[in-house]
Structure 1
Amino acid sequence: MQKMHELLRMGDLAAFVGIVDDGGFAESARRRGVSASTLSRSVTRLEEQLKVALLRRTTRSIEITPEGSAVLAEAREILDRSETLQEIATSGQAPAGPLRVNAPVPYVLHVLAPRLAEFHAKYPEIQLSIDMTDTVVDLIGSHADVAIRLGQLPDSDMLHRPLGRTSWKLVATPEYLDRHGWPETPVDLAQLEQVRFAAPDHINTLHFAGLAEPVTVPPAMTAGNGEAVRRMVLGGLGIARFSDFMIEEDILAGHLVELFPSQLQAEPLAISALYLTRVSGLRRLGVFLDWLEALIE
């Protein structure tokens, strides 16, 4: 393996890595716009040159062999070095190339999307691709170069950059409160209804200063997406608490009112960008992270 990069085609190595990351020939071929037979030939060439079986193939799945796992680690390193060299060679030029971003739906809609035109105007050669999910993803498996996450990060080997913090606000529409009564104290919230998040459940728990126990508000409806919860609250279904970036404009426009801002007790939520060590040297990633950080300032 020591001089594998001198023996093998970079395209074959990239094909092998892609097949493993995509979980099979068909999906990898679809993502790359090539035929599965082309990828199969690449793997066959690697196996013939290395004289080992890299993958066990069935009609429905693939399984990487122990030898394949060893080759995979080396192949990733070689491909990473190659991309780093390309970055160095073009260091005098504007950052360019594809950058795949994964972020929660509300963050994309309320923070990124309104400002992406600015980023594109500044770095027109960077081709951003944005996937939206509200769950933690595997960066390799999801083909993401960087993932934006809210809350405490799990222990991992991934690098991360803090992007700021977002506070919580408990809100409802004025019309809803006109119909059901404006609460004078947090305890009065129990006479209203709450639009709840399916997960994580702690968002639905309402703690207030001076109260030993959280206030329990009867549920009106539950949704598994933060933006759906927001739309339900705007539609007059009940109260809910949100990260401030989600409802800041709604409050300014008078569509929502904040309830008990000085009494609601909820730790601000950290916003972080996670990325893999193997892409940490890419200039296009660096300028994107710098831009993200400036959004929160």
Structure 2
Amino acid sequence: MSSRFDRLTLLSTFVRIAERRSLSGAARDLGTSQPSVSRQLAALEDRLGTVLVRRTTHDVTLTPDGLALLADARRMLGEWEAIEDRHSGQGGLRGTIRVIAPVGLGQRLLLRAAAEFMHAHPQITIDWRLRDDVIRFAEEGCDCWIKIGAVPDDTLVVRQLAKVERLVVGTADCLARQRGADVAKMPWLTLGQFEGNRIELYDTKGAARSFTVRPKMASDNIFAIYEAARQGVGIAILPRWFVAEDLDSGALVDVAPNLRAAQLPVNLALATGTQRPARVERFCRAVQAYCDRWL
């Protein structure tokens, strides 16, 4: 059994290999050589008595044992950082927070929360990635995942940040061209991940009204749907926070004041573990406070 490297160094190197899917990439990040990274990987595999990665000429992939270790390694490293935070003499928060956020919220509203946090804590850096698809948390190397809708991973700790009100909007000119047509007969712009071809709205008493549409335009990007609505192409279901300024200015109008789409939860997912670095917990609290103010 090799004892040249301490356990935390071995785990940290392994996590970097898993994130970069490359020994040379991990070596560059760690400021060392590829042979040194290879020796550390071999030492960890020797210590654990198992193969953790499969190497090809192009990249490395984790074995089932490697995937299982990755979650444990991240949790242990996070708890070690939490210990350092409590007992270190260094003042203030420092380090990198890795965040995966939804495209719309992450590009606009939540980015403002992140900016406020970085202004308040100058030694913090944020790796800010925007994705609307479902991720494999353990493989992504993120500290927290903000997702609209349910988090389909019962191994994670999930906190609900807010519920988003959604309404049907369009331009006044678009509505005028429809000459009082029923909402189901209007040209629809749909966001595939939420509506598809099926629209479901609720009246003020909670009664559902559902109908099928043939979208004038469909997209997987909220900004595309928003811009098409602003151009008068059709009507769309959009979050109130996203269109608040347009409603105030009259650029968009509430097409069906007595109908609303179902509210969507905004969830924050974290890896399990008894302790996390202070910077992660403080960031999560800051995002929660921002959502309380604006959502």
TM-score by length of 1: 0.82
Give the aligned partner of residue 178 of structure 1.
176
Deviation at 1:285, TM superposition (A): 1.3
Give the aligned partner of residue 229 of structure 1.
225
Give the aligned partner of residue 254 of structure 1.
250
Give the aligned partner of residue 194 of structure 1.
188
Letter in structure 1 aligned against 2:177: R
Once residues 157 and 70 of structure 1 are traced to their aligned partners in structure 2, the CA distance between those partners, rounded to angstroms, is 12
Moved more, 191-200 or 14-23: 14-23
Tell me, yes or no, if the aligned pair for 2:78 and 2:276 is still in contact at 8 Å. no
Letter in structure 1 aligned against 2:282: V
User: CA 1:140–1:52 in structure 2 vs 1: closer, same or farther (change >3 Å)?
Assistant: closer
Deviation digits for residues 159-194 of structure 1 (CA, Å, limit 9, x no counterpart): 1222111111100011222333344xxxx1244201
Runs of 5+ in structure 1 lacking a partner?
Answer: none
Give the aligned partner of residue 109 of structure 1.
107
Once residues 8 and 183 of structure 2 are traced to their aligned partners in structure 1, the CA distance between those partners, rounded to angstroms, is 62
Tell me, yes or no, if the aligned pair for 1:149 and 1:273 is still in contact at 8 Å. yes
**Count of matched residue positions in the alignment of Structure 1 and Structure 2:** 290
User: CA 1:180–1:51 in structure 2 vs 1: closer, same or farther (change >3 Å)?
Assistant: closer
Aligned with 2:122 (options 124, 128, 131): 124
Aligned with 1:268 (options 263, 266, 276): 263
Runs of 5+ in structure 2 lacking a partner?
Answer: none
Q: SS where residue 139 of structure 2 aligns? A: coil
Once residues 3 and 243 of structure 2 are traced to their aligned partners in structure 1, the CA distance between those partners, rounded to angstroms, is 52
Q: SS where residue 108 of structure 2 aligns? A: helix
Tell me, yes or no, if the aligned pair for 2:10 and 2:44 is still in contact at 8 Å. yes
Moved more, 31-40 or 109-118: 31-40
Give the aligned partner of residue 134 of structure 2.
136
Deviation digits for residues 225-281 of structure 1 (CA, Å, limit 9, x no counterpart): 1121111111211001012222112211211101222233x3211111111124852
Equivalence map 1:24-43=2 (5 Å): 24-26=22-24, 28-29=26-27, 36-43=34-41
Give the aligned partner of residue 99 of structure 1.
97
Letter in structure 2 aligned against 1:43: L
User: CA 1:90–1:202 in structure 2 vs 1: closer, same or farther (change >3 Å)?
Assistant: farther
Tell me, yes or no, if the aligned pair for 1:173 and 1:257 is still in contact at 8 Å. yes
Tell me, yes or no, if the aligned pair for 1:203 and 1:241 is still in contact at 8 Å. no
Is 1:15 equivalent to 2:13 in the alignment? yes
User: CA 1:248–1:42 in structure 2 vs 1: closer, same or farther (change >3 Å)?
Assistant: same
Tell me, yes or no, if the aligned pair for 1:192 and 1:218 is still in contact at 8 Å. no
Q: SS where residue 242 of structure 1 aligns? A: strand
Once residues 285 and 103 of structure 2 are traced to their aligned partners in structure 1, the CA distance between those partners, rounded to angstroms, is 21
User: CA 1:172–1:22 in structure 2 vs 1: closer, same or farther (change >3 Å)?
Assistant: same
Is 1:219 equivalent to 2:224 in the alignment? no
TM-score by length of 2: 0.82
- Aligned-residue sequence identity (percent) comes to 28
Once residues 70 and 215 of structure 1 are traced to their aligned partners in structure 2, the CA distance between those partners, rounded to angstroms, is 45
User: CA 1:66–1:30 in structure 2 vs 1: closer, same or farther (change >3 Å)?
Assistant: same
Moved more, 43-52 or 143-152: 43-52
Give the aligned partner of residue 277 of structure 2.
282
Deviation at 1:156, TM superposition (A): 1.0
Deviation at 1:95, TM superposition (A): 1.9
Give the CA RMSD over aligned residues. 3.3
User: CA 1:27–1:169 in structure 2 vs 1: closer, same or farther (change >3 Å)?
Assistant: farther
Tell me, yes or no, if the aligned pair for 2:71 and 2:138 is still in contact at 8 Å. no
Tell me, yes or no, if the aligned pair for 2:75 and 2:272 is still in contact at 8 Å. no
Deviation at 1:65, TM superposition (A): 5.5
User: CA 1:279–1:41 in structure 2 vs 1: closer, same or farther (change >3 Å)?
Assistant: farther
Once residues 152 and 71 of structure 1 are traced to their aligned partners in structure 2, the CA distance between those partners, rounded to angstroms, is 26
